[in-house]
Structure 1
Amino acid sequence: MSLLLALAAVAASPVSAKPAAALSPGEVVAASPAPDWQAISPDDLLVMDLAPASNGRPRRVVIQLMPEPFSQGWVGNVRKLAAAHWWDGLTVYRVQDNWVSQWGDADGEDKAKAKLLPAGIEQVPQERYVVRPEGPERSATHEELDTWLATIEGTHAAWHALARKGSKVKDSDPYADETFFYRGWPVAASQAGPSAWPVHCYGSIGVARDMPPDTGTGAELYVAIGHAPRQLDRNLAVVGRVIEGMQFMSSLPRGPAPMGVYADPAERTPIVSVRPASEVADLPVYEFLSTESASFRSYAEASANHREPFYVQPAGGVDICNLKVPVRRRK
């Protein structure tokens, strides 16, 4: 074909429509319809107020507690401690770079100085780090999780039979056979057993403890402020996550002593109060993007395969902790 004929053919051919610009994960979230968002019950929220910053700015941290069936012995303890105002006047006494910020009673290991715990604090056995189909945490309200756990052994197909389609991240995870989202929370599972457990991600709140078999009471808590410390999964209890004010925990000065401890008490950050949300006036309503929604599936796909002009090569995957569940104040 001559060049003239070729040009004529191009001119005569229909003009293809310009492909729609790919949405970023943030744009997917912003465009998600209201029914795809699920309110967080104020019964599952704690509010921690730190001493104001040096410029007088308030520092409020809002915590969402882990739902059933995971970590409920420790979660129950945390609820009792908050109701008793136990943390009031204590401190953030440890901040280790790329690891955790930890708070509670800095004198807790000194029996002469330690603050007494409220009545009814449970000593939770380490077997409760995980949930099993035959375990004490099982109930009819968690039939979906129980069904999956009961059928996971030897097959991955069970996942796809459940109503949570699209919430699974991927099969390959260096720490677990499976990772997925259960009612808005990142969870991992093992085919051997089988069992499931909450994972440590940035912003996850865990229970500090001494050497095993001690499992901690929940009086000493930490929040992950660096790369997801997944090696802690099944070794310490995850009891919640920070949903607002994370910057106030992650930007604290790092402690100079080993493991990020503040050797000088004057360096610690005072805790003014920790309260159940029911005791805090004018607290906003918070909601999260349902991990069972079509919007979350689109958000996950966009997170795994960024196609915005900035990106040269889509990654083709995303790990469980990099797929942060969006949380917002209700509009």
Structure 2
Amino acid sequence: MRRFATLATLTLLATAAAAQPGRWTPRPIPNATEPAEVIANAPAAVWRPIAPENLLVMDLQEGGRVIIELAPAFAPVHVANMRRYARAGWWNNATIYRVQDNYVAQWGNGDANVPLPEGVVQRPPAEYERPTAGLTPRALGFPDSYAPMTGFVDGWPMAWDPARRSAWLTHCYATVGVGRDLHPDTGTGGELYAVIGHSPRPLDRNIANVGRVIEGIALLSARPRGTGNLGFYQADRGETPIRIARVRIAADMPAAERPRFEVMRTDTPTFAAYLRGRANRGGQFFRVPAGGVDICNVNVPVRRRAG
């Protein structure tokens, strides 16, 4: 009798699952172009140059450089603050003081009493989402656990709610967000973190997402983890924060030293082919194409510009 009850329960669960709205069945596309092949053959016209004003360049005292693309279209006040911090030298001699496993690496001046640069907005608005007006996103085409819709706009991974007409950047690997205190504090942009683990999407719409690391993420992710609460380094345990030498905006650097990058445009047939390839990996290794992909597994291509 117990066996029949179990079978009946399983049948009911299967029927309920099949009846759920929005249920999705993978439909793999055979022989989709490999993503690496799409990138290798992408014409120059499908790449968007990153403006030097939107590149934050962080040099570490031990050597190595972390480069961040800023996202002023989603967090204009926080990004403006970050430019002020960089131009005032506020981060020079600051530290990476928190590295939490499978989560984030965080840097800034922490509890040090360093005066804020002139012009920094001390109470920015909660730039956690923005209106969809003016955005023309390319939909991912697959379900998401955290938003009604996900896709890409101008090379950025984005989620949005058509009913509320609001959009926000998604917290994917290498995302840069603003450290803050408890609500209603929104952070000024002086304390920053980069995602170094599995995409913490519950942070979406709860913290200002101000950009992404486009080069040097290993200098943040391959660090010893802090043993303090939330991964903070503990001096009494011999844990030493990583010293930052200086942080600059690329536009302020001499032209010969300025790093130059470009992002694949996400409104092109080339990116559509790349997206199909990410969702339907094949070749000699993948024998079973997934027929789907998560927004944070697409990894919009970024490359250095020649010259």
2:119 alignment partner AA? G
1:124 alignment partner AA? P
- Report if aligned partners of 1:47, 1:280 keep a CA contact under 8 Å in 2: no
Which of 257, 261, 264 is matched with 1:289 structurally?
264
2:264 alignment partner AA? L
Q: Within 5 Å, which residues of 2 pair with 1:90-239?
A: 90-108=94-112, 114-122=113-121, 123-126=123-126, 128-132=127-131, 143=134, 145=135, 167-239=138-210
- Report if aligned partners of 1:22, 1:308 keep a CA contact under 8 Å in 2: no
Cα distance in 2 for residues equivalent to 1:171 and 1:195: 19
Query: Which SS does the other structure have where 2:295 is aligned?
Result: coil
Q: TM-score with structure 2 length normalisation? A: 0.85
Structure 1 residue 29 corresponds to structure 2 residue 39 = yes
Give CA deviations for 1:288-330 in whole Å, capped at 9, x if unaligned: 1111111111100000001212111101111111111111011
2:64 alignment partner AA? R
Which of 65, 75, 78 is matched with 1:74 structurally?
78
Structure 1 residue 41 corresponds to structure 2 residue 45 = no
Query: Which SS does the other structure have where 1:81 is aligned?
Result: helix
Query: Which SS does the other structure have where 1:201 is aligned?
Result: coil
Cα distance in 2 for residues equivalent to 1:284 and 1:130: 29
The structural deviation recorded for 1:23 is: 3.6
- Report if aligned partners of 1:169, 1:320 keep a CA contact under 8 Å in 2: yes
Give CA deviations for 1:58-111 in whole Å, capped at 9, x if unaligned: 31011110031x111111111111111100011000000000000011324xxx
Query: Which SS does the other structure have where 2:37 is aligned?
Result: helix
After alignment, is 29-38 or 273-282 more displaced? Answer: 273-282
Query: Which SS does the other structure have where 2:139 is aligned?
Result: coil
What is the aligned partner in structure 2 of residue 302 from structure 1?
A: 277
Percent identity between the two aligned chains:
46
Give CA deviations for 1:251-294 in whole Å, capped at 9, x if unaligned: 11110111100011851000000001023342232111111111
State the Cα RMSD in Å. 1.7
Query: Which SS does the other structure have where 1:28 is aligned?
Result: helix
Q: Within 5 Å, which residues of 2 pair with 1:273-288?
A: 273-281=246-254, 282-288=257-263
1:170 alignment partner AA? G
Cα distance in 2 for residues equivalent to 1:21 and 1:301: 10
Specify every segment of 5 or more residues in structure 1 that has no aligned partner in the other structure, as ranges. Answer: 1-19, 53-57, 109-113, 134-141, 146-161
Q: TM-score with structure 1 length normalisation? A: 0.79
- Report if aligned partners of 2:33, 2:273 keep a CA contact under 8 Å in 1: no
1:269 alignment partner AA? I
Query: Which SS does the other structure have where 2:158 is aligned?
Result: strand
| Structure 1 moving runs of 4+ over 2 Å | 20-23, 278-281
Specify every segment of 5 or more residues in structure 2 that has no aligned partner in the other structure, as ranges. Answer: 1-29
What is the aligned partner in structure 2 of residue 4 from structure 1?
A: none
1:115 alignment partner AA? V
